[in-house]
Structure 1
Amino acid sequence: MTGIITTPSVALAQVDAGAIERELARLWHAATEAEQTGGEALMRACLFNFVILTDTTRISHVTEVTARLTALRPNRAIVAALSTGADPADSAQRMEAWVQAHCALVTPGHPQVCGEQITIIAPLDAGMHIPGIVLSLLEPDVPVVIWWAFNRIPGGTVLAHLQSVADRLILDTAHMDGAETALRSAQSLIAAGVAIGDLAWGRLTVWREQIAQLFDAPSALHQLWSLERIEIEHGSRGATAALLLAGWLATRLNWRMTKRRDTGVVLTRSDGGEVLLEFARVETTAVDSLASVTLLTAHSRLTVTRSASGDHLKACAIIDGLAPVERAVHLPPLDTAALIVDELRLARRDPIYEAALRQALDLAEYLVTPSPE
């Protein structure tokens, strides 16, 4: 892929589904005429509807993500941006809309693959009109993916009216205030029948892979069933990731929580033995805010640690009587578009994430210190 081209946005004088469709038709007609007169060959494609709910301050960011996503999975993107209401003049705003195309040369010698983006801006008091316009603009016979691109807990009438048509709803619980509150909001949506994709979970993929690979060797696998202590170090924004990672470990190993200690939570293994799970706050600038995971038994120490440079993970297995085993794996850029593509590999629900989420919420409750009577 040599690059992504985004056409200039074309503003609409009238904001309704019919006017938007007419402007899109003109956009593609102009592109076809340019192609016939010697311009770049292009192919319009739409694998899914991509509805982005956000605020007006993040339009540039979501447009950049949408352009990169088009190169990976072409779509019809509908950006519904609500004004923040911070400026009193916002209430006097009219609805605005514009259309543009994103094109990428995916394979040299072939036409550019293009998707389209429709952006609608509405003041807070006009948000009620957004669902009807969005529903009218959806391409038929392809999935509907909604991206909640706010840094706040999902909710409100716009999402309530649209979530019933969504095949997937993508969130980022790590960027919401309050780890337990964010995770509980995701759990509530799942309980309502929504298939959730969580970018915080996607960032944990490489960590989960490296932890699992620590136990590939038979000598290490034997240690897995006798784990006695787990330590997870994370930064100030990493509580969500740490809880999800701990929830994943507990569900995969069939552990159950039994009691709380001052330093963490005690879980019971299937053989009746106990595992102490502890979290520690450290300084880190990593996007996922995770620093290290340490798994201890009486005879081994297995670790996955982020390097000082932050661009790779180091895994180390030290087992009594055996030579240490070490390896390093490069950390891919945590690009939002790539994370969304990974989420789209699942057509509907992610049972492993949902199980880890339930366990993470149970852990969060155990970690809360009871209020004094």
Structure 2
Amino acid sequence: MTQKNGASKVVTQAPKKVSIANIEPELGHLWAQFNQANSDGHAVVMRACMSNLIIFCDSPQEAEIINQEIAAIVDVHPARILLLLGNGKPSESTMEANVAIYYTALDDGWQVCAERIDIVSTSAMAERLPSVARSLLVGDLPTTLWWASQRPPPTAGETFFQLAELANQIIYDNVGWVNPAQGVAAMTRWVAAQQNIQIVHNLAWRRFAGWRKLISQVLDPQTEPDALESLHTIEIAHGPHALPMTWLLTGWLASQLNWQPIDGKRLSDSELVWRFRNNNQDIKVHVTRLPKGNPLIYQLLFDWGKPALAGRICFKRLDNERIGISEELSTVPPRVFTVQVPERSTLVSAQLAQRNRDKIFENALKSSNAMTAVFQQ
């Protein structure tokens, strides 16, 4: 049976269960079958592969979500996919494998744009996954590890560290971390220890790229000359599970504007506050979690007003396509901006093409860690 995935033109056949030892021969057999079935003397069958992509997840539920995203990823970035499930329920033993190929129609034939290998293990056997993955990598291609688990990568121990050794780039996502302060601290220490060895990327960084661009444009000194120098209060409202992303956004502001964190405190289960110092100016950042919604930033207010002069701007997410300046909460004219909420598959495929470290992101991580150091539960 052929399955089409989302809006992508990429399709795949039902995966075939194989033994671990028989993975490579079976992939070769699938390729030969596809080539024979579709090469009719006129059509051309091409095989494309730009990199290895190792995906690690903890649960069948996570794996099922990723299953719906792979076609969109390989449509943009053909790859050999190794999907590792570390807390699964193999049907016959402690570890099992499935293989499949993804393909798409070209003007003059077909292109096989992915070879997918699923390795499912029990939690007790998860420590074997890195060695299995190592044996299945295409050796002359760059390798990316997408850590799709909701555990902060370094807290997962040897499974993460060994998989990271196989990769040139590590992609992770801090949305949904149970303990943001612990996760930020652990991840920042690990990134700092890499010493330019690997590229590390947080999907949240691209997820709020539109906010970063919008803030930079609207608060530019040529647009609002007094805003950054006089800024004293920031209020942020976010949806459930988006505190780690909000933490990183605040870290970006602090790193770009040379703010030094003084203290931070949790006011309630849904509110916390930080205080920063910039020269002789104190800046308070008040963060509130909304009772419902998606893991997004919904409202961002900057207040640089003085006793004799008002100065405020409030951005609100209107829907998945737009962010607007709130007229009733701003002293600048209302406007609406196109800032789409990107799909996770789009974020991953865009990052797969990157091969340079992002120093601005790493500086934001350092500031996020400094915020962790002064935070009092």
Q: TM-score range by the shorter chain?
A: 0.7 to 0.9
For the residue of structure 2 that corresponds to 1:175, the secondary structure is coil
Matched, 1:76 2:80: yes
Establish whether residue 33 from structure 1 lines up as the match of residue 36 from structure 2: yes
Question: What residue number does 2:295 align with?
Answer: 287
2:66 alignment partner, one of 62, 66, 72: 62
| In structure 1, C-alpha distance between the alignment counterparts of 2:136 and 2:69, rounded to whole Å | 20
SS at match of 1:225: helix
- 1:96 aligns with 96
Q: Secondary structure at the match of 1:102?
A: strand
8 Å contact kept, 1:214–1:302: no
Shift of 1:64: 2.1
Instruction: Give unmatched runs, 5+ long, in structure 1.
Output: none
Using the alignment, how far apart are the partners of 1:264 and 1:95 within structure 2? Answer: 46
* SS of alignment partner, residue 100 of structure 2: strand
Q: 279-288 vs 90-99, which deviates more?
A: 90-99
Q: 1:225 to 1:331 in 2, by over 3 A?
A: same
Q: What is the CA distance between 1:249 and its match in structure 2?
A: 0.7
- How many angstroms does 1:240 deviate by? 0.8
Q: Does 1:249 align with 2:253?
A: yes
Please give the secondary structure, in 1, of the residue aligned with 2:287: strand
* Distance 1:339-1:352 versus aligned 2 partners, 3 A rule: same
SS at match of 1:147: strand
Matched, 1:15 2:20: yes
Give me the whole-angstrom Cα distance separating, in 2, the residues matched to 1:185 and 1:319: 38
Alignment of 1:110-259 (within 5 A): 111-154=110-153, 155-193=156-194, 194-216=198-220, 218-259=222-263
CA separation of 1:7/1:227 partners in 2, compared to 1, >3 Å: closer, same or farther? same
Give the conservation status (yes or no) of the 8 Å contact 1:210–1:315: no
* 244-253 or 232-241, larger mean C-alpha shift: 232-241
Equivalent position SS for 1:246: helix
Hey, what does 1:301 align to over in structure 2?
312
- Asked if the contact 2:101/2:114 (under 8 Å) is kept, the reply is yes
Q: Describe the shift of the 1:162–1:39 C-alpha distance in structure 2 as closer, same or farther (beyond 3 A).
A: farther
Give unpaired runs (5+ residues) of structure 2: 1-6
| Post-superposition CA distance 1:236-279 (Å, at most 9, x none) | 32211111111111111111123558773332224x32222221
The SS at the match of 1:218 is coil
What do residues 88-107 of structure 1 show as CA deviations (whole Å, max 9, x unaligned)? xx7973421121011234x6
Contact 2:263 2:375 in 1 (8 A): no
**Pairs aligned (count):** 355
2:264/2:376 contact within 8 Å kept:
no
Q: For the residues of structure 2 that align with 1:230 and 1:208, how far apart are their CA atoms? A: 14
Task: Give CA deviations for 1:63-104 in whole Å, capped at 9, x if unaligned.
Answer: 22222110010000011212357xxxx797342112101123
Which amino acid letter does the alignment assign opposite residue 216 of structure 2?
A
> Alignment partner of 2:374: what SS?
helix
Q: 1:51 aligns with which of 37, 50, 54?
A: 54
Question: What's the offset of the Cα at 1:327?
Answer: 2.5
Match of 2:351 among 343, 352, 370: 343
* Structure-2 change in CA distance of 1:113 and 1:314 (3 Å): farther
Give the direction of change, closer, same or farther, for the CA distance of 1:277–1:314 in structure 2 (3 Å limit). same
TM-score normalised by length of structure 1: 0.85
- The AA in structure 1 aligned to 2:324 is K
Tell me if the contact between 1:207 and 1:304 (Cα under 8 Å) persists in the aligned partners. no
For residues 319 and 78 of structure 1, the distance between their equivalents in structure 2, rounded to whole angstroms, comes to 49
Higher mean displacement: 272-281 or 171-180: 272-281
- What secondary structure sits across from 1:283 in the alignment? coil
Runs of 4+ in 1 over 6 A off after TM superposition: 317-320
Contact 1:55 1:81 in 2 (8 A): yes
Structure 2 match to 1:327? 336
> 2: CA distance between counterparts of 1:62 and 1:264?
35
Question: Aligned equivalents of 2:302 and 2:237: distance in 1?
Answer: 12
Q: CA RMSD in A?
A: 2.7
Distance in 2 (CA, whole Å) between partners of 1:136 and 1:28 is 19
